[in-house]
């Protein structure tokens, strides 16, 4: 979904930058607060960043001036919440723009808005609702991550539709862009949801204490006391 | 060349090119100002000029291998070309250029759509060359130091450096584990493949996390207080070069206004 460097014409890239910036600043403030409270969380933050980097670099070409790939930010939103995810995604998207020519500096604002703000916020809201119910957390993780991924692409399609209207109609253009995305993105979103469930169960099995500390899981986990060193886990 | 190899190559080039010792402030200033001017216009001449100048600087002045530089363009250009063909065929309004009567509807290609597609193509190529100038000549460590100089919050700079390091750890461990699984016949059968992949990703996550915790413990043992200090030994920017870049930018803007009314077609 990363829109390429220079692909958005002039008023739009400035507008998306202006919208994303305040939210990112709030995210940075939250990161500073969290790391002050729990310095031991830093490796996990960085790891989630690297995870998002690697997973969203697995891309399929799409004819929409961007590409189709899993986003990874839904999982990050479940762990840390949407504000911190937006701050992480700024770093990740900048590295991708610089190291992979995947996305760009001028389109960074638009990309942060879709992948770092809208997707995670909606994913987190779904996860929050599921947490209130007594369903298996795996279902919540799956739905939240899949929807977060799809909503990211809806947002990108809106951004492209606004910048490149067909016959003066933004909506028609949005439908065109989204229907192209949908072909590749719906299977990818489901795959990402399954992967997230797997990772979540792995983390709660071997690193349950961290999830509890982050407030992701409230129920005391029976498996926590069996936490093992990764050397044995592999 | 696969992606992981490509960015190891970029990293190497950032440390070994002929401009690696010159001030990152100058390089970043040049790249970003050219990028912003290039992206802000709707005409096609400025991006072409920017592209040519950046290419000359990268190959001539920084002495980056031409093969690496053009390799970087392959994938984005391929995606961009697909997108621009799509834009040209389906977008635009106003005067028709060609009208094709198909049995069920008339498909018209608009002049404005074609113009938009060509200007977008050139704009992206110009912007990409600016970006490549920055990454091929400046290392990420230098950029992080630069971010600290402009008073980016310390925790963000620190997190950037850790994420950068972790990307390489992640890839290295996944390569090792994938090899180990192949040796243990993970590819024997469809179910085994799925199971092996899920185990690989899950344990990759936990193993990288453990490695990270050990790194943090090691850093704490060496008096880490939330600030990674690097010896900042880069040259301060030369005033003459900065002046040159400002003149170049002004010339670009003048060119932009001169060519405002020249269309592509």
Q: Per-residue pLDDT for chain B (265 aa), expressed as one digit of tens each? A: 455 567 778 888 888 888 888 888 888 889 989 888 888 877 778 888 899 999 999 998 888 888 888 888 888 888 888 888 887 777 766 667 677 776 666 667 777 778 888 888 888 888 889 988 988 888 888 888 888 888 888 888 888 888 888 888 877 887 888 788 888 876 677 667 666 766 777 777 777 778 777 887 888 898 877 677 777 766 777 888 888 888 888 888 888 888 776 665 5
Same domain as B177, residue B105: no
**Exposure on the CB side of residue B44, measured as CA atoms within 13 A:** 13
Among the ranges given (A20-24, A89-93, B90-94, B113-117), the one the predictor scored with the smallest mean pLDDT: B90-94
**B171/A54 CB distance under 8 A:** yes
**B212/A7 CB distance under 8 A:** no
Q: Considering only CB atoms, which chain B residues are within 8 Å of A229?
A: 210
**B166/A42 CB distance under 8 A:** no
From B222's Cα to the closest Cα of chain A, the distance in A is 15
Q: Is the pLDDT of residue A65 over 90?
A: no
Same domain as B79, residue B118: yes
**A230/B203 CB distance under 8 A:** yes
ipTM of model over 0.90: no
In a mutational test of the B interface, the residue from A2, A43, A54, A178 whose CB has the highest number of chain B CBs within 10 Å is: A43
Same domain as B157, residue B133: no
Same domain as B240, residue B114: yes
**A198/B201 CB distance under 8 A:** yes
Look at residue B49 and tell me if it is in a domain: yes
Q: Following CA atoms B166, B233, B154, A207 in sequence, which dihedral angle do they give, to the nearest 10 degrees?
A: 20
Q: Between A101 and B26, name the one with better pLDDT.
A: B26
From B211's Cα to the closest Cα of chain A, the distance in A is 9
Q: Which of B10, B11, B26, B13 is nearest to B234 (CA)?
A: B26
Q: For residue B68, what pLDDT is reported? A: 86
The encoded tokens of residue A233 equal: 């886990």
Same domain as B98, residue B73: yes
Same domain as B49, residue B130: yes
Q: Which neighbouring-strand residues pair with B108?
A: B99
**Rounded to whole angstroms, how far apart are CA atoms A137 and A143?**
10
Same domain as B59, residue B169: no
From B130's Cα to the closest Cα of chain A, the distance in A is 10
Task: Indicate the residue of A39, A45, A202 with minimum beta-carbon distance to B159.
Answer: A45
* Beta carbons within 8 Å of A97's beta carbon, 6+ residues apart: A2, A5, A103, A104, A105, A108, B131
**A99/B135 CB distance under 8 A:** yes
**Rounded to whole angstroms, how far apart are CA atoms A214 and B69?**
44
Same domain as B112, residue B11: yes
Q: For residue B264, what pLDDT is reported? A: 54
Whole domain around residue B164: which residue ranges?
Answer: 151-221
Among the ranges given (A131-145, A198-212, A219-233, B211-225), the one the predictor scored with the smallest mean pLDDT: A219-233
Question: Number of structural domains, chain B?
Answer: 2
Q: Which of A144, A163, A164, A141 is nearest to A152 (CA)?
A: A144
From B171's Cα to the closest Cα of chain A, the distance in A is 8
Same domain as B134, residue B155: no
pLDDT band for position A85 (cuts 50, 70, 90): very high
Q: Is the pLDDT of residue A188 over 70?
A: yes
Same domain as B191, residue B124: no
Same domain as B161, residue B121: no
Q: For residue B87, what pLDDT is reported? A: 79
Q: Between A22 and B3, name the one with better pLDDT.
A: A22
The full set of domain ranges for chain A reads: 12-229
Same domain as B167, residue B96: no
Q: Which class does domain A12-229 fall in?
A: mainly alpha
From A38's Cα to the closest Cα of chain B, the distance in A is 12
**Rounded to whole angstroms, how far apart are CA atoms A198 and B258?**
58
Q: Which of A87, A102, A110 is nearest to A156 (CA)?
A: A110
- Contact call for residues A188 and A205 (beta carbons, < 8 A): no
**A54/B170 CB distance under 8 A:** yes
Q: Between A198 and B28, name the one with better pLDDT.
A: B28
Cα separations in angstroms, B177 against B71, B127, B229: 29, 38, 33
Look at residue B226 and tell me if it is in a domain: no
Q: Is the pLDDT of residue A124 over 90?
A: yes
Look at residue B162 and tell me if it is in a domain: yes
**pLDDT tens profile A157-186:** 899 888 887 776 788 888 888 888 888 888
Q: Is the pLDDT of residue A50 over 80?
A: yes
Please give the DSSP secondary-structure letter assigned to residue A72.
-
């Amino acid at each position: 979904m990363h829109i390429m460097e220079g692909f958005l014409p002039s008023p739009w890239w400035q507008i998306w930058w202006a919208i994303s910036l305040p939210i990112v600043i709030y995210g940075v403030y939250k990161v500073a607060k969290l790391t002050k409270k729990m310095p031991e969380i830093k490796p996990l933050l960085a790891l989630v960043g690297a995870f998002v980097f690697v997973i969203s670099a697995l891309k399929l070409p799409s004819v929409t001036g961007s590409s189709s790939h899993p986003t990874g930010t839904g999982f990050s939103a479940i762990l840390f919440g949407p504000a911190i995810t937006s701050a992480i995604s700024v770093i990740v998207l900048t590295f991708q723009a610089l190291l992979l020519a995947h996305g760009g500096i001028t389109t960074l604002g638009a990309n942060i808005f879709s992948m770092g703000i809208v997707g995670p916020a909606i994913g987190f809201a779904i996860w929050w609702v599921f947490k209130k119910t007594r369903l298996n957390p795996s279902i919540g993780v799956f739905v939240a991550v899949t929807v977060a991924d799809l909503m990211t692409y809806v947002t990108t399609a809106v951004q492209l539709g606004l910048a490149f209207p067909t016959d003066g109609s933004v909506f028609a253009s949005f439908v065109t862009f989204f229907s192209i995305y949908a072909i590749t993105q719906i299977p990818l979103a489901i795959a990402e949801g399954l992967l997230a469930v797997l990772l979540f169960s792995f983390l709660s099995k071997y690193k349950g204490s961290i999830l509890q500390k982050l407030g992701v899981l409230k129920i005391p986990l029976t498996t926590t006391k069996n936490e093992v060193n990764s050397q044995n886990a592999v | 060349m696969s992606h992981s190899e490509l960015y190891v190559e970029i990293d190497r080039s950032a440390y070994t090119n002929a401009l690696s010792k010159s001030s990152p402030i100058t390089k970043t200033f040049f790249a970003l100002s050219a990028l912003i001017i290039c992206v802000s216009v709707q005409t096609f001449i400025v991006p072409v000029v920017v592209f040519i100048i950046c290419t000359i600087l990268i190959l001539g002045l920084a002495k980056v291998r031409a093969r690496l530089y053009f390799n970087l363009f392959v994938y984005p250009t391929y995606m961009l070309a697909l997108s621009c063909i799509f834009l040209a065929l389906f977008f635009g309004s106003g005067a028709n250029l060609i009208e094709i009567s198909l049995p069920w509807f008339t498909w018209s290609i608009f002049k404005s759509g074609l113009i938009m597609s060509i200007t977008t193509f050139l704009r992206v190529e110009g912007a990409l060359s600016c970006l490549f100038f920055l990454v091929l000549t400046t290392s990420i460590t230098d950029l992080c130091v630069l971010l600290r100089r402009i008073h980016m919050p310390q925790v963000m700079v620190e997190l950037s450096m850790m994420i950068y390091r972790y990307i390489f750890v992640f890839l290295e461990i996944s390569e090792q584990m994938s090899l180990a699984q192949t040796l243990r016949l993970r590819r024997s059968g469809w179910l085994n493949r799925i199971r092996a992949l899920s185990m690989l990703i899950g344990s990759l996550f936990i193993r990288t996390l453990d490695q990270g915790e050990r790194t943090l413990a090691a850093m704490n043992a060496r008096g880490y207080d939330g600030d990674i200090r690097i010896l900042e030994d880069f040259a301060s920017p030369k005033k003459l070069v900065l002046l040159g870049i400002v003149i170049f930018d002004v010339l670009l803007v003048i060119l932009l206004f001169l060519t405002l009314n020249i269309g592509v077609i």
